């Protein structure tokens, strides 16, 4: 996939290797099976992020929420933020410059 500068770059996938390293896709066309799977995973991660955000807001709005609830909400929020940043980086790398 060509990046903004027209140079072909591999796609950053929305998952990592078992040891936490990034995964890339370089040979699959945008309509390929693995690309469609990555699109589906990204969509699920974004939906999950919306739910986590709503839950975190609810915890923060609850003055009686205990430390465990706040820590859980923050943990899930940081996981979701990591997913969203990975998606943004991946999509940003695939935007082509229109001239």
List, for residues 30-65, the tens digit of each pLDDT value: 678 999 999 999 999 999 999 999 999 999 999 999
Q: How far is CA 28 from CA 17, 35, 37, 42, 90, in A?
A: 18, 7, 11, 17, 15
Handedness of CA 40, 44, 87, 19 (dihedral sign): negative
Lowest pLDDT segment from 19-23, 54-58, 95-99: 95-99
User: Which residues does 54 contact at the CB level (< 8 Å), separation at least 6?
Assistant: none
């Amino acid at each position: 996939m060509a990046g903004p500068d027209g140079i072909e770059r591999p796609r950053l996938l929305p998952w990592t290797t078992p040891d936490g390293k990034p995964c890339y896709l370089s040979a699959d066309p945008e309509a390929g099976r693995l690309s469609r799977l990555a699109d589906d995973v990204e969509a699920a991660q974004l939906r999950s992020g919306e739910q986590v955000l709503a839950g975190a807001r609810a915890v923060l709005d609850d003055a009686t929420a205990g430390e465990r609830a706040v820590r859980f909400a923050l943990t899930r929020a940081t996981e979701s933020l990591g997913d969203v940043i990975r998606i943004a980086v991946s999509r940003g790398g695939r935007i082509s410059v229109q001239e």
